[in-house]
Amino acid sequence: MKQAKGMKSVTVLGFQDDMATTQTAAAKLFKIPFNKNQLVSKQELITPATITGTRNPVAPGMGQISVSGSLELPLEARSIGYILKGFFGAPVSTVDGTDETIYHHVFKLQDDQPPMTIEKGFPDIGQFFQYTGCKVNKLSFDAEVGNNEATYTADMVGKGEKLATASLNAAAAMLDILRLNNFNATVKQGGAVLGNCTKFTLNMDGGIDTDGYVLDGSAEVNDLPEGVVSVSGTATTKFTDAALFDLAVNGTATSLELLYASGKFSLDILIPEVQLQRQSPEITGSKGITADVSYQGFHNTDAQNSAVIVTLTNDVMAY
């Protein structure tokens, strides 16, 4: 019996017209590069308290079905647009003023997230798990000095799962990978380069309500309504002065920005309004001292009206 190989597996996604309808149109389904696809469905077994006069257990009951799991994806400047659209909503896309082959896609937080169909396929054994009504609940970035692959993580939730023996689109196209590396990253604070930063994390949580079950004869969730987004993370810096500490002590709002740039291509993540958490540096040894500064992003008065603004610059016309 042939065993499925991870290197032969595929991940295909497409945006749905509504929450319940699987996207089957070939022109709307795209293959994406990925490192891990841990999206799964689970149905709990319920242990009954039924008494039958012996010590033998009775058959368990069946619980609700949940669909969730993370996608670990290579940080690259083309297919990431699909995931950003899944979290933020559709971007505003414009052509570059000096190079008509380059486009700028600006993503801002919108009230509704478009649901997706995601297929986790094993073509070498003809098995395809198809997930409907998927939304990006969490999006996490981690830039760090060192010889490590730049990746990001999208935590998904979904409505239902179906197992098929044929792909939704076996010929789905994959955009060419244009990888962004950690050495391409720059961190800015207050619009200026934070020259002593060695690690920067960003976590965005969409606050999706996953308890949308109803008594409709189905074990699947009925809806996945969006909630208030939380924006948080940590900046690790070489301790050279108390500038960030002073901002935290005084409760002074600032901005933080994570920029990846490679030639004409770039990914810019701006958090216009940030509050830093007061935390003094520790001494843990004889070597150079580092300081971890946690932060929370919010929206108050910034004219862009979004707690996070992502600008993706690439050669893809639209998402």
Can you tell me the distance from the alpha carbon of 226 to that of 114, in angstroms, rounded to the nearest whole number?
Answer: 11
pLDDT score for 151: 98
Closest of 42, 30, 204 to residue 118, by C-alpha: 30
The fraction of the chain above a pLDDT of 90, given in percent, is 93
Tokens in use for 230? 């939380």
- Span 186-192, average pLDDT: 97
- Residue 127 is predicted with a pLDDT of 97
From the CB of residue 209, how many other CB atoms can be counted at a distance below 10 Å?
12
Confidence of residue 64 (pLDDT cuts 50, 70, 90): very high
Query: What secondary structure, in 3-state letters, does 26-50 show?
Result: HHHCEECCCCEECCEEEEEEECCCC
User: Please, which pLDDT band fits residue 103 given cuts at 50, 70 and 90?
Assistant: very high
User: What gap in Å lies between CA 8 and CA 271, rounded to an integer?
Assistant: 38
Question: Over the chain, what is the mean pLDDT?
Answer: 95
Work out the number of other CB atoms within 10 angstroms of the CB of residue 148.
11
Report the Cα–Cα distance between both ends of the chain, in Å, rounded.
41
| Residue 272 and residue 255 in contact, taking contact as beta carbons nearer than 8 Å | yes
Element (H, E) at 307: none
List, for residues 14-38, the tens digit of each pLDDT value.
Answer: 999 999 899 999 999 999 999 999 9
Distances (CA, A) of 37 to 7, 58, 68, 294: 12, 36, 11, 29
Separation between Cα atoms, residue 158 and residue 224, nearest integer Å: 8
Per-residue pLDDT at 273: 98
Distance (Å, rounded) from C-alpha 132 to C-alpha 19?
A: 8
Q: Which two tokens stand for residue 80?
A: 């990431």
Cα–Cα distance measured from residue 139 to residue 81, given in angstroms and rounded to the nearest whole number: 13
Amino acid 1: pLDDT:
87
pLDDT tens digits for range 265-290: 999 999 999 999 999 899 999 999 89
Mean pLDDT computed over 310-318: 97
Once rounded to an integer, what is the mean pLDDT over residues 190-216?
A: 95
Is residue 224 within 8 A of residue 133, CB to CB? The reply is yes
The predicted-structure confidence for 120-140, as pLDDT tens digits, reads as follows 999 999 999 999 999 999 999
**pLDDT tens, residue by residue, 223-258:** 999 999 999 999 999 998 989 988 989 999 999 999
Residue-by-residue DSSP string for 214-254:
-SSS-SS-S-------EEEEEEEEE---SHHHHHHHHT--E
- Give me the pLDDT at residue 289, please: 87
Taking CA atoms, 118 is separated from 4, 121, 243, in Å, by 19, 9, 45
